[in-house]
Amino acid sequence: MPNVPDLLLQAKRVLITTHIRPDGDALGSTAAMALALRQKGIEAKVLLLSHLPSKYAFVYTEAGIDFVDVENGFPPDFSLAGYDTLLVIDTGTWNQLPGLQPYVEKFTGQTLVIDHHLTQEPWGTARLVETAAGAAAEIVASVIEGWGVPFDPMMGQALYVGMVSDTGWFQFSNTRPITLQLAAKLLAAGVDADRIYQLLYQSERPQRLAVQAKAMQSLEMLADNRVAMMKLGRPDLEAADARTGDSEGLINIPLQVGTVEVSVLLSEPTPPTPLDGAVRCSFRSKGQLDCSKFAAQFGGGGHARAAGAKIAGTLDEVYAKVKAALLTTV
């Protein structure tokens, strides 16, 4: 049976994409794969369904990654016909790839998936899914090593960003021995961990504090302080001049409280785009709640301790729906 690494090496032109509103793992993994394919003499371009978040822009710009974003909608002349391979990284579900399915259904080339999430849908020519991996970047790194491509500083930086983003800088339960072994290899390849930490966690815009304040003002503690819920409305985000990424990580703040088992953050997209107009719901737990199963009832998915969903409706309607579901689950 053909496998993803072998099929990629047979390609000549690869379009790489990832989930909407990409995080550090999605961007680091796609960048590293594009660089590795380039070293193998294979043309690669990245398709982003959202604008490149400013927080992670250095991963693409410093490495010279060729990319295009279609956050404002696919252009009329968009087509996959110029590629022989479509590679999807860090998701295996259509709801994380809004607008792309009609193009894939007409695509005559091979469609490959590399992912580590529990929630999957059976599509694609071949799939490489390792749910035990702490980040998609770990899987991408294993593919690159299998090809015999050495890690260079730019590739290493991209992979490192992916790993630290999804493991909470190696704090979360998905951190494995292999995770730290890979991190050591990347540091040996020239990755500047201190610089990456400063860029990711000590270079926030002032607007970030305003968004955090709004989120904390909305905090509601439920079920004997075992559940924390927060929400960010579009007016809140617009007043703070917020961008994609300014609310990243806020969901983890209530988990600092000893009694809190589950944290939930709901936010409206700002501005709404043709590809993403639903309320974004993020779920985190310390292990008592399987976030992936909980999110699945709303058409979402992810990991056992971190998952998400996009739910149609007003912010208040979605908030009430999620709250009711939580109170009957925890």
Tokens matching residue 147: 């090809």
Answer whether residue 1 shows pLDDT above 60: no
How far is the C-alpha of 262 from the C-alpha of 269, rounded, in Å?
23
How far is the C-alpha of 67 from the C-alpha of 34, rounded, in Å?
10
Answer whether residue 117 shows pLDDT above 90: yes
The reported pLDDT for the residue numbered 203 is: 85
- In the chain, CATH 3.10.310.30 sits at 207-327
Looking at the chain, the number of H-run helices and the number of E-run strands are 12, 12
Q: Is 47 helix (H, G, I), strand (E, B) or coil?
A: strand
Type of residue at 94: W
The pLDDT tens digits of the residues spanning 55-89 come to: 999 999 999 999 999 988 899 989 999 999 999 99
In the chain, the percentage of residues whose pLDDT exceeds 70 is 97
Tokens matching residue 5: 């690494």
Q: Assign domain 207-327 to its CATH architecture.
A: Roll (3.10)
Q: Assign domain 4-201 to its CATH architecture.
A: Alpha-Beta Complex (3.90)
How far is the C-alpha of 80 from the C-alpha of 76, rounded, in Å?
12
pTM above 0.85, yes or no: yes
| Span 215-219, average pLDDT | 94
Spell out the residues 6+ positions from residue 15 whose beta carbon is closer than 8 angstroms to its own: 44, 45, 46, 47, 80, 83, 85, 86, 87
Preceding omega of 271 cis (within 30 degrees of 0): yes
| Span 29-56, average pLDDT | 96
The pLDDT tens digits of the residues spanning 219-243 come to: 999 999 999 999 999 888 888 887 6
Spatial strand order in the sheet of 301-302:
220-222, 227-232, 262-267, 279-285, 306-311, 301-302
- In the chain, CATH 3.90.1640.10 sits at 4-201
The reported pLDDT for the residue numbered 246 is: 78
Tokens matching residue 207: 């607007």
